[in-house]
Structures are given as C-alpha cells and as structure tokens.
A = this chain, B = another copy of it.
Amino acid sequence: MEPGGCDAGPTVKAVAAVLPAGGSGERLGGATPKQFCTVQGRPLVSYTVRAVERVSWISDIIVVVSPENIETMKSIIEKYGHKRVTVTEGGITRHRSIFNGLKLFSENKFSNHLLQKPEVVVIHDAVRPFVEEDILLKVVMAAKEHGAAGAIRPLVSTVIASAADGCLDHSLERTKYRASEMPQAFLFDIIYQAYQQCTDYDLDYGTECLHLALKYCKTNAKLVEGTADLWKVTYKRDLYAAESIIKDSLSQQICIITDVKEAVVQVGFLLHESLRSQIKVETISISLSKRDNHLQNIFSGQCYNFVCINDKKYATEEIQQLVDMLEESNIPLLHPVVLISVHLNTSENASFSIDLEELTKMKKFAREVKRKNILVYGLLIQYKDYFPLQETVNSAAALTMALIKDRNPELTGQLVVA
C-alpha cells in the first residue's frame, strides 16, 4: 500500500513493523514469558499486535518468537483474528531476533514467499501494548528524514556508575540523559546494513538498535519525546497496571437498552441521568425482537458495556437475543463485554422470591456465554408504587459502575440488588 494524505499516514512508500517477542521473562519471576501472560484472559502480545495492526498504513507485521512458541503465537493470531501478521523464528538474543525478522524482507530462506521490502521499518516491543498511532507516525516520519528515530522518555531515577569496589563512582546529571524506549523506526536499508555488518559481540550483548545504526551506518537517530504509556511490561506489577489500564479503557461508555413500556423507559432515563457524570451513556428504547440498525451499529462499535432493562423476572430470552446480536456483529470479542440484565420488581410484596432452579439456569447460561467473552450479571431494582426512589437508582448506578470496572468473571450469573 502507499499511504497518502487522506489516510493521515506518512508519505512513505511502504512501512512494515517487526515486533521482537522472544524474551524469556525471567524478571517477572514466572515461567510464562511476559508477552504471553494474559491480561483479562488475552495474551499481552495480542494487545500489542492489535495496537500496530489498527494503523492502516503499516502493511506487514512480523512477530519474532522463540522456536518453542511459534505454534502458540500462530494460535493467538488465529483466535484474535489478527491480520497482516507473519510469525517467524527468533535467535538467542534480542538483536539476532530482530535481524531474523528483517531477513523476511530480503532473504527467502526463512519463508516461502519474500515480503515486499518496506522503505521504513518500525521496531516495537511485544510488551509495550499501549503504543498509539501518533508516536508511530512521528518516528516513521523522522526515520524517513534522518535514517533512524526512536522514542525517548525522561529518566525516572538518577543513573549512576559504580566503581570496581561496589561504591559510587559518579552520578549522571539526570536532565542530560533520556531513557531510550520503543517504538523506533529506520530506513530499511540502513538498519539491515547495520545488522549485516554487526559483530557477533554486538549481536549477542547489545540491545539498542539506535546504537547499531550509529556505529555501523553513522546515522544519528532523531529522538522523539514519547508519552508515559510507552512503558515496557517488565515486572509482575506492570501486568497489574496493564490490566487496570485496559479495564479503565473498557469502562468509558455504556449503552442502556430498554423495551418500549413506559415504566421501563422511565427507569432507563433515571439510570441514564445517574450514570452520565461518571461515564458516557447512550440509551435506546426498542423492541428487541425487531433487529434494530442503530443497536447493531453500537454492537459493532467500541462499546463494551450494556444494560438491558425490563420487567420480566428472568429475561433469559432478551439476554439471549443480545448475545446473538453481539456474536453476529462479526467483530472478534477481543475484550470481555459486560451485559447487565436489570429486572424491575414491581410487586408490592415486601418479599422477593428467588426461584433457585431459575437462578441455576441463569448461572449456567452465564457460564456458557462467558466462554464467548461475554460477562452477564443480574441487577434487581425495587419499583414501588410505580415510582423508583432516586436512592435506589443511584445504588443501581453505583453497582453498574462496580460491575463494569471490575469485570469479575467469577461473579457472572449473580443477582445484585440495588
């Protein structure tokens, strides 16, 4: 492809990306390399691939993994519907892995077909899942001009040099130095030439691609200030942070669906008002049996949270219809979707009877759709004298926010009471 102005892409002939994902993750203290650790049930590398893949002007994405993880990586690509991705075998060090990835564009001994040689190649770590198009564009454009470019960040800690006796030799003035992060980008011919000329020592002990471009091609990379979200998942705490960031990003908007009955529409309105200071809300009143285009659009979009209000006690049929529509929307369910089934209890009775058999059915249903990455919860709103108390609606809103923010798979099929 040849990206141009309308695409907001760089005016570069072809851009490809190489994602080294061969690390062994010993710093995490676990057996699983960090790129394959799951966040919300999905391997970290899939988030990173998705972040690169959604940039339309990047034509090919090479993921380089160690030999024992080739099949794992291929199944991840299959499961999450990734496109334009080629998996290839890494070497024993980071530089050897990146070199292997680059060879796919120049030598065909690693692959059946030679990929189109890009003008610029992006190198990005598989464990930096939050990379944005903006910084990718910046490093690509800078690489086109300067031959090489890389994202940098201010140092968080002072950097020091130790003497042979384990004592401080000197500390570096923090403002004069930067942390070299990813993504980086290079004119393909420059970085490929650097790797071809690279000594075995550099291939085995070096880690910094910018250094190779400088040392072997006399190319001083342009340094581009990046944002904090470029950070590398290194320790277990970083996986925790990644999980929270992803949960946060999934809790930005919610769709309230009501049928067309007056009481139900009214509660939908009140819940909408109570939620709107915390989250972007869209409310629609429709008959679920008719397939609504607007609803279909919402399902195909970036909304991962749905509240379905009705006055039936076990709205199994309605929830099943929503699940069907989600599945038909044809986007892979990359993230868990939350579906809260709100039941309005209009009975004047002070006691609410739970049919344990019905509840068991509901839990079984929830367990089944959980496999499809849909999390179903029940929420009861007490609706007395055809007027729900504001306090009850506020409690329902708080419970809704708690359920979508936590996205706890163990609590699916449960009924919470506002």
> CB distance B351 to A352 under 8 Å?
no
> CB distance B152 to A178 under 8 Å?
no
The A107-160 residues at the B interface (CB cut-off 8 A) are 146, 148, 150, 152-153, 155-160
How many Å lie between the Cα of A406 and that of B403 in the bound state?
A: 11
Residues of B within 8 A of A289 (CB): none
Q: Beyond A27-B228, A167-B222, A356-B382, is A176–B160 a contact (Cβ under 8 Å)?
A: no
- Smallest distance from the beta carbon of A352 to chain B beta carbons, Å? 5
> CB distance B179 to A159 under 8 Å?
yes
The A397-411 residues at the B interface (CB cut-off 8 A) are 398-399, 401-402, 406, 408, 410-411
> CB distance B240 to A158 under 8 Å?
no
Interface string of A231-245 (1 = CB under 8 A from B): 110110110111111
> CB distance A220 to B168 under 8 Å?
yes
Residues of B within 8 A of A222 (CB): 166-168
> CB distance A181 to B207 under 8 Å?
no
> CB distance A168 to B354 under 8 Å?
no
Our pick among B167, B169, B399 for the contact of A146 (Cβ within 8 Å) is B167
Of A208-216, A260-268, A321-329, the stretch lying at the interface with chain B is: A208-216
How many Å lie between the Cα of A169 and that of B176 in the bound state?
A: 11
Q: Copy number of this protein in the oligomer?
A: 2
- Smallest distance from the beta carbon of A94 to chain B beta carbons, Å? 11
A199 at the interface (CB under 8 A from B): no
Q: Beyond A238-B241, A410-B402, is A177–B160 a contact (Cβ under 8 Å)?
A: yes
Residues of B within 8 A of A167 (CB): 146, 220-223
The 18 sampled A-B contact pairs (Cβ below 8 Å) are: A146-B167, A150-B168, A152-B162, A157-B179, A157-B180, A158-B207, A168-B214, A171-B210, A174-B207, A174-B208, A228-B235, A240-B240, A240-B245, A241-B241, A351-B356, A352-B354, A408-B408, A415-B417
Beyond the given pairs A160-B180, A163-B220, A240-B243, 14 more chain A to chain B contacts, judged by CB atoms under 8 angstroms and listed by A's residue number, are A146-B167, A156-B234, A158-B208, A158-B211, A167-B221, A169-B220, A170-B214, A171-B208, A237-B244, A240-B240, A241-B241, A351-B356, A354-B417, A398-B410
Q: Give residues in A with beta carbon < 8 Å to B.
A: 27, 146, 148, 150, 152-153, 155-163, 166-172, 174, 176-181, 207-208, 210-211, 214, 220-223, 228, 231-232, 234-235, 237-238, 240-245, 350-357, 359, 363, 382, 398-399, 401-402, 406, 408, 410-411, 414-417
